[in-house]
Amino acid sequence: MEIWPGKPYPLGASYDGSGTNFALYSSVADKVELCLLDDELNETRVELREVDAAVWHAYIPNIAPGQRYGYRVYGPYEPENGHRCDPTKLLLDPYAKAISGQAGPDESLYSYSFSDPSQLNQLDSLPHTMHAVVVNPYFDWGHDRPPAHKYHESVIYEAHVRGLTQTNPNLPEELRGTYAGIAHPSTIEYLKKLGITAIELMPCHQFVNDDHLIEKGLSNYWGYNTIGFFAPQNTYAANKTPGSEVAEFKSMVKALHDADIEVIMDVVYNHTAEGNHLGPTISFRGIDNASYYRLVDQDKAHYFDTTGTGNSLLMRSPAVLQLIMDSLRYWAAEMHVDGFRFDLASTLARQFHEVDKLSAFFDLIHQDPIVSQVKLIAEPWDIGDGGYQVGGFPPLWTEWNGKYRDTVRDFWRGEFSTLPEFASRFTGSSDLYQSSGRLPVASINFVTAHDGFTMRDLVSFNEKHNEANLEGNADGESHNRSWNCGAEGKTEDRDIIELRNQQQRNFLVTLMLSQGVPMLLHGDEYGRSQNGNNNVYCQDNELSWMNWDWNEDQAEMFKFTCKVIALRRSHPVFRRRRFFKGASARGGESEWREIEWFTPAGQHMTENEWRQDYARALTIFLNGHAISEPDDYGRPIDDANFLVMINAAAEPVLFTLPDRSTSDEWVTVINTVNPDDVSVHAEGATIELPPHSTFVLKELTSPLQTVAE
């Protein structure tokens, strides 16, 4: 075998059409062997003799895509000093573009003996671990272009590759649960009909199935257990040929782009699947443990953990920062994804102990000409001290607004003294973002997400029901801010069912008409239930998958969701780029009358009325003729006027329409009690809003508008 010196950059395995360059970073290694594997897993070991700046490298002619490989790293095994090199473990390339197989469960993956943890385990892990695969980087993108939807025009749909497609009867069986299933015309037609602009896919980086879940007959469904930051999850590929998942993922992105839908990836750069000091040695731990992981300063045998998973990546390590930036750049530039949602993003800002928005991680993101231009969404919390950082991320970043979720849930379940904060969240959360120069689109608004109840369960259960997770119902959030509407779980009581449908519609209208960027959880558009389980991380089955066999209520819910999304996308008054001028909540009116607040009696809200702890009802006037911002071409925006009438009380409330129309008439475009309502009301008329309801009225300027709506 010819072996040339090769180059130290780029890291990983790089095929150029004639051969492959291999490069691996390890500052602690004494020797590194590249292990080339054949189909029977026989290995050919090649010692890497070239080392530049702690990067071990070689170029081997005629090594082609599909070649499986791994590394054996020789060096100190001194856990007390933070070093865990173990050449009996075949190690996964941190920069592997594709990964073959799965890991464990097997004792050979661990560097200690199960019978006596003080003794080293010399079992070879090669037959039981994952293997890196050389990939073909060439792909015909054709005329692919990023849809580049502006944040304020975006509607994000959080989905799971398997959950969205696994039971879809319109898909061929071999495509269900795969990237190809999402790329299928049936799936894309559904997403287009719904009206979303971006699909946010739950983790698609290669992840590891936890041993303790496998032993229980469960699995890591969500995938927040990453081991390969460059490789698409191989179990989501319809084509099972090693390495083919890369082209399949690219084909999915290309198909979604053709449909004008962006692809956002949920990424987990805060920890890896190797866990704590008792975890397996799969990759980073055996390559350079102290460079990749944050260790306890006074006890380097243990890991500093702010993620709850056993370890945290060392965010002040140049190797870690380079890994993350190289990964982000690869997915944006080579895989054409349009943005990233960062799991437990507060951990990424912990360069030392505190969450620091001036950390090196943010500096690198902001100066990068590629990564800084895609959508960057933070989950702005972790479990460490000071980890809750909603509103605390720097410009360029948007955030999952957990305060929006909590406030909207509390308001619609009837909690006291929630009206003022509800108004603030509805208008873009200026109290969180405006002082730092950010815009309403910094707020990713959501009522439900993968972690927690679905929207249907939010109105059907007061308590979590996670028994299927086999953890004694101790896992998952216990304070869900939910209301079961009168019965726990399934019921045949039609009045309760109607109230639940009504509450779901209230949530959907609030979400889609709030300033900021709405995010919808997959299945909420029709009322998907998880039977009260608010933590389906280990449920890769019908409990968590989409159900495509809808009853009449579900079909009507989908129709309503499409309608309210279309309303948002048709009217810029609901998706402003800037905050309202001047105070917009607690009695203040915007300087240009862009928004006004009225009591049900049609009078301007007073400070005293905002303070009433029992206040549950109000009218919001949105002035479409006074939007103080130009369109993309510098032209003034002129939209219709709207009244949003809200009654979250348990009794009916009589509303009087305020004097705000230039045409003296309003047409009903949304009614969460009767979705078919298109009635017309004169200015000054009274309307009785039933309990727990929302009406949206549009200024009627032409008789034809009634038909159009």
Q: Which residues are catalytic?
A: 343, 379
Q: Say which residues have a Cβ less than 8 Å from residue 306's Cβ, sequence separation at least 6.
A: 270, 312, 344, 346, 347, 350, 382, 383, 384, 387
Query: For 527, left (φ over 0), alpha (ψ -120 to 50), or beta?
Result: left
Rounded CA gap, 529 and 491, in Å?
Answer: 13
Any residues with CB less than 8 A from the CB of 632 and at least 6 apart, and which? none
- In the block, tokens 């399934």 appear at 490
CA distance linking residue 337 with residue 545, whole number of Å: 24
Residues 566 and 633: their CA atoms lie apart, in Å, by 23
Give the amino acid at 249: F
Nearest residue to 595 via CA among 572, 627, 571 = 627
The two structure tokens encoding residue 290:
């102290």
Tokens of 428: 């873009």
Residue recorded with tokens 């060096």: 75
Are 619 and 598 in contact, with CB atoms under 8 Å apart?
yes
| Distance set, CA 391 to CA 71, 258, 278, 356, 585 (Å) | 43, 34, 36, 13, 18
Integer Cα distance of 639 and 31 in angstroms: 68
Rounded Cα distance between 529 and 589, Å, is: 40
State how far the Cα of 639 lies from the Cα of 696, in Å rounded to an integer: 15
Please check whether residue 360 is in contact with residue 394, taking contact to mean a CB–CB distance below 8 angstroms. Answer: no
Give the number of C-alpha atoms closer than 13 A to the C-alpha of residue 521, restricted to the C-beta side: 25
How far apart are alpha carbons 303 and 311 in whole angstroms?
5
Helices assigned H by DSSP within 298-450: 318-333, 345-348, 360-367, 402-412, 419-426, 430-433
